[in-house]
Amino acid sequence: MFSFAPASLADGLFGSWPTLLALSAEPLAHLRTLDILIITIYFAMVLWIGFYLKGRSNTGEEFFMAGREMTAWIAGLSFVSANLGSLELMGWAGSAYQYGILATHWYWIGAIPAMLFLGLVMMPFYYVCKTHSVPGYLDLRYGGGARSVAAISFAAEMILMSGVNMFAMAVVMKVVLGWDITFSIFVSSIAVAIYVGLGGLRSAIFNEVLQFVLIWGGALLVPILGLIQTGGVAGLKTQIMANMQSMTGVRSDSYFHMWRDTGSFAANPMGVHWTGIVFGLGFVISFGYWTTDFLVVQRVLAAHNLRAARMAPIIGSFFKMAVPFIVILPGLLGLVLLQNPDGSRRQLVGEDVVAACAVSSSSGQVEDGPACSAAMAKSTLPAAYQQKVLSGAPGSELHSYNQALPLMMVRYLGPGLLGLGITALIAGFMSGMAGNVSAFSTVWTYDIYKPLINKKGSDSHYVLVGRLSILIGVAVSIGAACLVMHAHGIMDYVQALFSIFVAPLLATILFGMFWTRATKLAGFLGLLFGIIFSASLFMWVKLVPAALANVALSPDAKPMAENVFRALWAFLFSAIVIVLVSLLTKPRPVAELDGLVYGATKLPKEEPAPFYKKEWVWATLAVIIFAGLNIIFW
């Protein structure tokens, strides 16, 4: 999901694409016939799956919930895959290039505790109450007001995010392959609309599992070959430390420490503090996303029984812990392996620098020399190379951080393998978009259309509405993509939607699930005022950039810190509203909260199973590995 992509991608790519697209630039890679064939076969396969599953998506339960018959493995892989978009792959590889192994926090503490909590603690309530969606749970717990606020905000977020993702991917395809932007948007979005529209959630989940395998098959070679070339991890570390000392103001080995230098904003390359990582990212953002975002929770709700539903996120946590191997490691390898045509070490720069130094297609020279010079002066590019760029010398083109992963692919992957790598990027994009539209379809049908527009439709009527909503959703997404193409200023606002909604929603659900005293009015007001508060903080920093120091509590804070601290304050604000209003209003009788609230619910007894099939065994193993990794890379 795009909202989980790093700020560097959001701040960079979208701020500069008008320049990037307007001017000519040589694509990073050229595909051969074999590569095109591989990509074509992929599209044929996903469409075949959609047509094959059409006959098994006739009822509402089949279309929206995949018949609730997914195994723990399929639900777990789909759960992780829906989040593993190509923009995340490229964005976090770029972040690893910029910030080192600190970027791994978004994969470990930013995911694992929340995934285990979802499986062990929250899943029984989602599953036992048989809700179709997260807003549906709010309806059962707090009533229609909270449900409508959550459903409308979620549906709008999904469809806008889908459009943003669509356009962002088209930009990536333009920059990497030189593909026409309209072609990329229409081909990929129509393919997603067909296979999800035909097969519903089952088709989306099937393709997400397929895409997960392709992502690994296409991306795994880069770190393997990179490590061979650097002489292993020890060689990589030695070379990075030799390079970094001259480039950054932080200690040269900071790139290899996740926690050691987070006691001060200024001591680490990312400009974050451990309190923000632990409480903002590790708790509010991570728990908000992995436990309340319906995009991912929907995959687990499709499991065939409660044990599978609990195991799915736990299985997913192991794969999530492994993802940095194909994302973070290529970024680190890029620091020492990427080379200019003359053999010197290639330094990547921000998208703003690439845009400022764009070359005119007619003259072959930098369009705006003074702007380019000023932009490069803020970078760590050597002075001699800056001169080469300004003079338009052959082979002196600039590449951005976000191109670290494609550049590494081009370095190692020849014909066929490159097609597989590009297929992995396309697959990542399509799995994210399929997640957006399938979640949108369910929330639109069950939480907006059914309660607010037509309460008395038949099951087949709602399936039809669901199918149409996918087509309409994709069409609106294409419209949103066109909108941001022509008014890129709205991108920042769309990007912020997730971080604005997630914290108040988390507070509302946690209090609803674990506090019998939380009342209907408190849930509604906590969610509504929390969203308003969070949006206000966003606008404050947007209009007064210096306010970042207030929001993140330090003048040394960088934009990456803003999201985590804003989420933390919004969560606390919502929590206070919920507690205060609950204490002033009358709660529902505890008997009405069976199946919804911890302490008022008798959970069904699970079938006896050998110890190796029990969720707590695997969760314990996940915790041990998670703790071990954080200690190793302390």
Partner 1 sequence: MHGSGIPIWFFIGVLLVIYGAMILGYGVFEWTTGAYASGVQLTNLHTPVWWGGVLAALGFFYVIKFRPGNSSK
User: Do residues 141 and 292 touch, judged by C-beta distance below 8 A?
Assistant: no
CB of 344 to partner 1, least distance (A): 16
Strand partners, 12: none
The answer to the question of residue 69 lying near partner 1 (CB under 8 A) is yes
CA-to-CA dists, residue 416 to 36, 225, 330, angstroms: 9, 16, 20
The answer to the question of residue 71 lying near partner 1 (CB under 8 A) is yes
- Residues 193-212, mask of contacts with partner 1 (x by CB under 8 A): ---------x---x--xx--
Stretch that binds partner 1, among 174-182, 317-325, 413-421, 626-634 (CB under 8 A): 413-421
Q: Binding residue for partner 1 (CB under 8 A) from 21, 28, 156, 225?
A: 225
Stretch that binds partner 1, among 68-76, 89-97, 324-332, 446-454 (CB under 8 A): 68-76
What token pair was written down for 420?
A: 């597989």
The answer to the question of residue 216 lying near partner 1 (CB under 8 A) is no
User: Do residues 567 and 288 touch, judged by C-beta distance below 8 A?
Assistant: yes
CB of 152 to partner 1, least distance (A): 33
The answer to the question of residue 415 lying near partner 1 (CB under 8 A) is yes
CB neighbours of residue 617 within 10 Å: 13
* 345 phi and psi angles, rounded to 5 deg: -70, 130
Size of the site for partner 1 (CB under 8 A): 37
Q: Binding residue for partner 1 (CB under 8 A) from 214, 285, 306, 405?
A: 214
* 400 phi and psi angles, rounded to 5 deg: -90, 165
The answer to the question of residue 561 lying near partner 1 (CB under 8 A) is no
The answer to the question of residue 263 lying near partner 1 (CB under 8 A) is no
Smaller CB separation from partner 1, 408 or 560: 408
CB of 191 to partner 1, least distance (A): 15
What token pair was written down for 341?
A: 């045509």
Segment 72 to 131, residues that bind partner 1, using CB under 8 A: 74
CB neighbours of residue 263 within 10 Å: 11
CB of 571 to partner 1, least distance (A): 37
Cα-based angle 57, 200, 197 (whole degrees, multiple of 5):
110
Smaller CB separation from partner 1, 42 or 573: 42
User: Do residues 540 and 547 touch, judged by C-beta distance below 8 A?
Assistant: yes
- Residues 154-183, mask of contacts with partner 1 (x by CB under 8 A): ------------------------------
Q: Give 519's contacts (C-beta < 8 A, 6+ positions apart).
A: 581, 582, 585, 586, 587, 588
Q: Binding residue for partner 1 (CB under 8 A) from 1, 5, 9, 49?
A: 49
The answer to the question of residue 370 lying near partner 1 (CB under 8 A) is no
Q: Binding residue for partner 1 (CB under 8 A) from 67, 145, 178, 382?
A: 67
Stretch that binds partner 1, among 156-164, 188-196, 415-423, 511-519 (CB under 8 A): 415-423
Which amino acid is it at 228? I
The answer to the question of residue 420 lying near partner 1 (CB under 8 A) is yes
Task: Report d(CA 203, CA 218) in Å as an integer.
Answer: 22
Say which DSSP state 379 is in: S
Task: Report d(CA 191, CA 196) in Å as an integer.
Answer: 9
Q: Binding residue for partner 1 (CB under 8 A) from 345, 411, 461, 614?
A: 411
Q: Give 486's contacts (C-beta < 8 A, 6+ positions apart).
A: none
Helix axes 181-219, 459-486, angle to 10 degrees: 110
Which is nearest to 484 in space by CA: 166, 193, 184? Answer: 166
Stretch that binds partner 1, among 220-228, 248-256, 534-542, 614-622 (CB under 8 A): 220-228
Q: Give 251's contacts (C-beta < 8 A, 6+ positions apart).
A: 261, 267
The answer to the question of residue 624 lying near partner 1 (CB under 8 A) is no
CB of 108 to partner 1, least distance (A): 27
User: Do residues 34 and 413 touch, judged by C-beta distance below 8 A?
Assistant: no
The answer to the question of residue 52 lying near partner 1 (CB under 8 A) is yes
Segment 25 to 44, residues that bind partner 1, using CB under 8 A: 32, 34, 37-38, 41-42
CA-to-CA dists, residue 231 to 224, 225, 227, 353, angstroms: 11, 10, 6, 32
DSSP string, 397-424: ---BGGGHHHHHHHHH--TTHHHHHHHH
Smaller CB separation from partner 1, 263 or 415: 415
Q: Binding residue for partner 1 (CB under 8 A) from 87, 410, 425, 564?
A: 410
Q: Which residues bind partner 1 (CB under 8 A)?
A: 32, 34, 37-38, 41-42, 45, 48-49, 52, 56, 67, 69-71, 74, 202, 206, 209-210, 213-214, 217, 221, 225, 228-229, 304, 410-417, 420
